[in-house]
Every structure is written in C-alpha cells, then in structure tokens.
Amino acid sequence: MALCLLLGARPDAGAPPAASYLFPILAIVFIYYFVLIRPQQKESQRHRKLLDSLKKGDEVVTDSGLVGTVVAVQDDFVVLKAGENVKLKFLKSKIWNRVSATASSATKDAKESSADSSD
C-alpha cells in the first residue's frame, strides 16, 4: 500500500500500470550512463590517441610515476631514457601521460629561482 502511495496511485484502484515503473528505471540508466560510462569512454579515447602519437623525444610519465624521455617506439613497447645511462623498456599501454613543455619549463624556472634565492 505504501508503494502505491509513493507512486501516486490510489490504493483502491488496484495495481499501478507497468509504465509507472519504467520511468525510474530509465532515469537510473540515463544517470549511470552520463556519470560513469561516457567519461570512461572519453578517457579511453584520449589515452589511445596519446599512445598513437608517441614519438622519439617526448617526455612522458608512466602509471608508476617514472618520468622519462622516449628513445624508441616499438609495436607494443616504448624504450624510455630515465637517466644518463639508464634505458628502460615499458609496455606502451603503461604510459599514463605526456609531460607538457610548459610544465617542464615551470619546473626549471622554479629550480632556478630557488637557486637564486639561496645565493
């Protein structure tokens, strides 16, 4: 009886029509799609485009947090230079993001300003 009152049906009118149950279910599916599925698909497309556009000399971050410069791009692997004589081979899918030139220049500027202030 309480369910009938919540759905706006009269208790003496019998069971509410099946269409009255359809709207809440459709609303939940709609919300679920726009909150969970669609953003995940967009992120997946962005990541795929990033992996396809990798080239030698790009500075990237892996999903484990390692920052390195791309030395070679193979089919499923990327060779990163992480230090002077350190080259590491990673799965291409484990590249998380490209480090932008502005971020790296901002880091260099911050280091230079901190070095100047310590003098």
Residue spans of the domains in the chain: they are 2-49, 55-118
Strands 67-73 and 59-62: antiparallel
Residue 101: pLDDT over 90: no
Reduced to 3 states, what is the DSSP secondary structure of residue 61?
strand
Note the pTM of the prediction, 2 decimals: 0.62
What is the token pair recorded at 92?
């291409």
Grade residue 20 by pLDDT with cuts at 50, 70 and 90. confident
Domain 55-118 class? mainly beta
Residue 59: pLDDT over 80: yes
pLDDT value, residue 21: 84
pLDDT value, residue 17: 73
pLDDT value, residue 117: 54
| DSSP tag of 54 | -
